[in-house]
Every structure is written in structure tokens, then in C-alpha cells.
Amino acid sequence: MSETKITVIYDNPTDPAAFEAAYEAEQLEAARKIPGHIRIETSKVWPKEDGSPTPAYRSIDLYYPDYDAASAAVTTPEAGAFFEAMGRLSTGGVRVLFSDIEIAQH
């Protein structure tokens, strides 16, 4: 079995300043506490040059050795705290994906 990635895609928040004020402590630090990940990546989407809305605002990727490990991780209290905060902060919407890594970049 190959690595599995959990991706959280945050759509554009209704109040970007409020989102950013809470992001580090309530999302990034909470994501780091979810057990079992082998690495974590975060991204902020570049603004469009014409000022139109971007298709997303930020993302967090948590990488796990396999699907079973990722599935177990989301049942932990740490993941519960992360997802509770995600629900509060994601005023523009949010998507969560489980993906099979086809080509690992090690």
C-alpha cells in the first residue's frame, strides 16, 4: 500500500483577517498534534493578479504511511479538536480529501 494524504482545502473566508488571526493556533498547531503523520505541508494560495477570487484560500496536507493509519488518525481526540476548530473557522467553506499518493516525492 502507498502513502495516503489528508488534504484540507479552505475556501475564501468571509473575514480573511479573522481567519489568519486564528489559523496558526487553532488549525496549524492542532493539525501538528494529530498523531501518526509522517510529514505536514501547508499552503496559501497566491492572489489573482486581476483581483478576482481564487478557487481556494489555504490548504493543509497531512501525509500518512497508508490509508489505515490516516483513517485511525481522524478518530483521535486531537483530530476531533482540529475538525471542531475547522468548522468554526471555515466561514467560506472547506473540503477534506483522502488521496492515494501515486508518486512520492522523497
Percent with pLDDT over 70 in the chain? 96
Cα dihedral 57/102/3/97 (nearest 10): 30
Q: What is the pLDDT of residue 80?
A: 97
Sequence ranges of the domains in the chain: 4-100
- The per-residue pLDDT for 14 is 95
Q: Which residues are CB-neighbours of 31 under 8 A, at least 6 positions away?
A: 8, 40, 42, 60, 62, 82
The alpha carbon of 35 is separated from its chain's Cα centroid by a whole number of angstroms, namely 14
Q: Which residues of the chain have pLDDT under 50?
A: none
Q: Which three cell numbers stand for residue 105?
A: 516525492
| pLDDT (0 to 100) of residue 106 | 57
The reply to whether CATH 3.30.70.100 applies to domain 4-100 is yes
pLDDT value at residue 104: 64
The predicted structure's pLDDT at residue 43: 96
What is the model's pLDDT at position 53?
83
pLDDT of residue 52: 87
Q: How far apart are CA 95 and CA 16, in angstroms?
A: 17
Q: How far is CA 87 from the centre of its chain?
A: 12
Buried b (16+ CB within 10 A) or exposed e, 43-54: eeeeeeeeeeee
